[in-house]
C-alpha cells in the first residue's frame, strides 16, 4: 500500500517535471543566484507559487509570493557563491535553464544548428517545429518570435545584504539589455556603482506578448567591485513609466496585488525599455 502511494507520487512528480520541461522559460544563472539547483530541494512544502522552478514566470501572485520569487522557497535555497560585478565594465550573463548551460542559444544549440534567420517568420523554423502555440520560439519558451521582438531584460541592486530585510523600494534598476533574452549570453553595461561586499541583485524580465503576460524577478547575492570608489545610487522613489527620468524601481505587473504598474489587456506591455523610461545599457540617471 505504502509502496503504491510512493510510486503514484513519483509518477505525479515525473509528470510535473515533464510539463515544466515543455514550458520552460528562462532565468539568469550567476554564481550568486538563489535556487542554484533550479528549485528549493528541502523538506518544506509550503510553496505559495504553483511554479517551483527558478526559470518559470511569475503570474497573478500575492506580493509575498512574487517579490524576488519568494513563493518558490528560493530564499531557503541559498546561493553557492557570489555574483561579482566589476563597475564600469561590460559583463555577460547566461539566461538559460540550468547552471551548466552552454551553446549559442539557451537550449544549448549553436547558431549553425538553427535555421537562419532564427525567426518564426522563416518557413524553415516553422518546419523544424520550433514555433509555440503562442507564436514564439518554443525551445525554450523565449516569449519572442525573433531577436528584434525580444522584450529586454534588466538588473537591479539593493545596497542591503539581508533578503528578509529588502523591499521593492530598495532596488534600483542599473542596467538594461534590449532585445534579450534571445541568445543565451546577455550583455550588460555596468555603471560607476559604488563598491559593495554584500549586496542583493535581481535579474528581471517582462516579455512582450508571445504567451501569457507575466514577469521574472530572481534574487542573487552580488558584490560590486570598484577600486575607484564609485557612487551609490539614490533610493528609487520613482515607479517606471513613460518619460520617467531618474532612479527607478523594478516593474511589478500582472500580479494579484502589489503591482506598481497597472496594465490592462490591449495596452502596450510595460517592458524594460524606453516605454517605461529606461535607456539602453547602463542607467546613468540613478546617481
CB of 126 to ligand NAG, least distance (A): 12
43: which 3 cell numbers? 523538506
44 binds ligand NAG (CB under 6 A): yes
Q: Residues near 124 by Cβ (< 8 Å), separated by ≥ 6?
A: 115
Q: Which of residues 184-213 bind ligand NAG (CB under 6 A)?
A: none
CB of 101 to ligand NAG, least distance (A): 24
- Cβ distance to ligand NAG smaller for residue 178 or 240: 178
Nearest alpha carbon to residue 210 among 136, 151, 267, 149: 136
Q: How many residues make contact with ligand NAG (CB under 6 A)?
A: 14
CB of 72 to ligand NAG, least distance (A): 7
Q: How far is 63 from 45, CA to CA, in rounded Å?
A: 19
* Residue 234 main-chain phi, psi, to 5 deg: -70, 155
- Cβ distance to ligand NAG smaller for residue 1 or 44: 44
Nearest alpha carbon to residue 250 among 266, 280, 272: 272
CB of 255 to ligand NAG, least distance (A): 15
Q: Which of residues 100-159 bind ligand NAG (CB under 6 A)?
A: 117, 119, 121, 145-146, 148-149
Residue closest to ligand NAG (Cβ): 119
Which of 46, 112, 133, 243 lies at the binding interface for ligand NAG (CB under 6 A)?
46
- Cβ distance to ligand NAG smaller for residue 119 or 138: 119
CB of 92 to ligand NAG, least distance (A): 23
Q: What is the dihedral of CA 208, 211, 212, 215, to 10 degrees?
A: -50
48 binds ligand NAG (CB under 6 A): yes
- DSSP, res 13: H
- Cβ distance to ligand NAG smaller for residue 46 or 243: 46
Per-residue binding letters, 56-85, with ligand NAG (x by CB under 6 A): --------------xx-x------------
Q: Residues near 138 by Cβ (< 8 Å), separated by ≥ 6?
A: 130, 131, 132
175 binds ligand NAG (CB under 6 A): no
Computed over its alpha carbons, how large is the radius of gyration of the chain?
Answer: 19
CB 122 within 8 A of CB 115: yes
Q: How far is 185 from 166, CA to CA, in rounded Å?
A: 28
CB of 164 to ligand NAG, least distance (A): 9
Q: How far is 248 from 143, CA to CA, in rounded Å?
A: 24
CB 182 within 8 A of CB 142: yes
- Cβ distance to ligand NAG smaller for residue 99 or 163: 163
Residues that bind ligand NAG (CB under 6 A): 44, 46-48, 70-71, 73, 117, 119, 121, 145-146, 148-149
Amino acid at each position: 500500500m505504502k509502496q503504491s502511494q510512493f510510486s503514484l507520487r513519483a509518477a505525479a512528480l515525473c509528470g510535473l517535471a515533464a510539463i515544466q520541461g515543455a514550458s520552460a522559460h528562462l532565468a539568469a544563472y550567476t554564481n550568486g543566484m538563489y535556487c542554484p539547483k533550479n528549485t528549493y530541494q528541502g523538506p518544506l512544502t509550503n510553496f505559495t507559487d504553483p511554479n517551483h522552478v527558478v526559470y518559470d514566470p511569475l503570474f497573478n501572485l500575492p506580493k509575498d509570493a512574487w517579490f524576488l520569487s519568494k513563493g518558490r522557497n528560493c530564499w531557503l535555497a541559498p546561493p553557492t557563491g557570489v555574483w561579482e560585478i566589476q563597475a564600469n565594465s561590460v559583463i555577460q550573463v547566461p539566461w538559460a535553464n540550468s547552471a551548466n548551460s552552454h551553446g549559442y542559444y539557451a537550449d544549448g544549440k549553436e547558431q549553425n544548428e538553427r535555421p537562419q534567420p532564427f525567426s518564426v517568420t522563416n518557413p524553415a523554423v516553422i518546419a523544424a517545429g520550433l514555433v509555440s502555440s503562442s507564436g514564439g520560439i518554443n525551445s525554450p519558451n523565449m516569449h519572442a518570435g525573433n531577436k528584434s521582438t525580444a522584450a529586454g531584460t534588466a538588473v537591479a541592486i539593493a545596497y542591503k545584504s539581508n533578503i528578509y530585510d529588502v523591499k521593492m523600494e530598495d532596488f534600483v534598476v542599473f542596467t538594461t539589455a534590449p532585445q534579450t533574452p534571445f541568445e543565451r549570453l546577455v550583455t550588460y553595461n555596468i555603471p560607476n556603482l559604488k563598491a559593495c561586499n554584500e549586496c542583493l541583485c535581481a535579474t528581471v524580465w517582462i516579455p512582450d506578448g508571445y504567451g501569457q503576460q507575466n514577469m521574472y524577478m530572481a534574487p542573487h547575492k552580488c558584490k560590486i567591485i570598484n577600486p575607484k570608489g564609485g557612487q551609490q545610487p539614490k533610493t528609487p522613489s520613482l515607479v517606471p513609466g513613460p518619460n520617467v527620468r531618474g532612479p527607478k524601481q523594478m516593474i511589478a505587473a500582472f500580479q494579484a496585488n502589489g503591482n506598481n504598474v497597472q496594465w490592462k489587456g490591449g495596452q502596450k506591455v510595460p517592458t524594460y525599455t524606453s516605454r517605461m523610461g529606461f535607456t539602453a545599457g547602463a542607467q546613468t540617471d540613478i546617481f
